Chains A and B, each alone.
Chain A
Amino acid sequence: MADPAYLGAMETVLYGALILAAGLTLLVSYRVIRGPTVPDRVVALDTIATNVVAIAALYAIWTQQGYFIGVSLVLAIIGFISTITVAQYVTEGDIIE
Chain B
Amino acid sequence: MTAESAAAVTVGPVRAALVILLTLVGSFFLLVGTIGLLRFPNVYNRMHATTKATTLGAASIALAGTVYYLPGGDGLMSLVTVVFLFLTAPTGAHMISQAAQRMGVPFLDGVYWPGEQTDLMRERDGETDD
- A residues lining the B interface (CB < 8 Å): 4, 6-7, 9-10, 13-14, 16-17, 20-21, 24, 27-28, 30-31, 37-40, 42-44, 46-47, 50-51, 53-54, 57-58, 60-61, 64, 66-67, 69-70, 72-73, 76-77, 80, 83-84, 86-88, 90-91
- Chain A neighbourhood of B8, CB < 8 A: 64
- Chain A neighbourhood of B105, CB < 8 A: 37, 39
Chain A: interface secondary structure?
A: helix
A33 to B10, CA, bound (A): 43
Q: With A47-B34, A53-B58 in contact, is A61–B95 under 8 Å at CB?
A: no
Q: With A4-B13, A69-B77 in contact, is A46–B96 under 8 Å at CB?
A: yes
With most chain B CB atoms within 10 A of its CB, the pick from A16, A28, A50 is: A50
With most chain B CB atoms within 10 A of its CB, the pick from A14, A57, A84 is: A57
Taking the closest CB of chain A, its distance from the CB of B34, in whole angstroms, is 4
- Chain B neighbourhood of A54, CB < 8 A: 26, 30, 57-58, 61-62
| B98 interface residue per 8 A CB criterion | yes
Taking the closest CB of chain B, its distance from the CB of A29, in whole angstroms, is 11
B74 pairs with A6, CB closer than 8 A: no
How many interface residues does chain B have, given as a range? 35 or more
Stretch of B42-50, B109-117, B118-126 with 4 or more beta carbons under 8 angstroms from chain A: B42-50
- Chain A neighbourhood of B102, CB < 8 A: 90-91
- B residues lining the A interface (CB < 8 Å): 8-9, 11, 13, 16-17, 19-20, 23-24, 26-27, 30-31, 33-34, 37-38, 43, 46-47, 50, 53-54, 57-58, 61-62, 64-65, 68-69, 72-74, 77-78, 80-81, 84-85, 88-89, 91-93, 95-100, 102-103, 105
Residue of A nearest to B6 (CB): A66
A1 to B4, CA, bound (A): 18
A80 to B58, CA, bound (A): 14
- Chain A neighbourhood of B58, CB < 8 A: 50-51, 53-54, 57, 76
Taking the closest CB of chain B, its distance from the CB of A44, in whole angstroms, is 6
Q: Which of A20, A27, A43, A70 contacts B96 (CB 8 A)?
A: A43
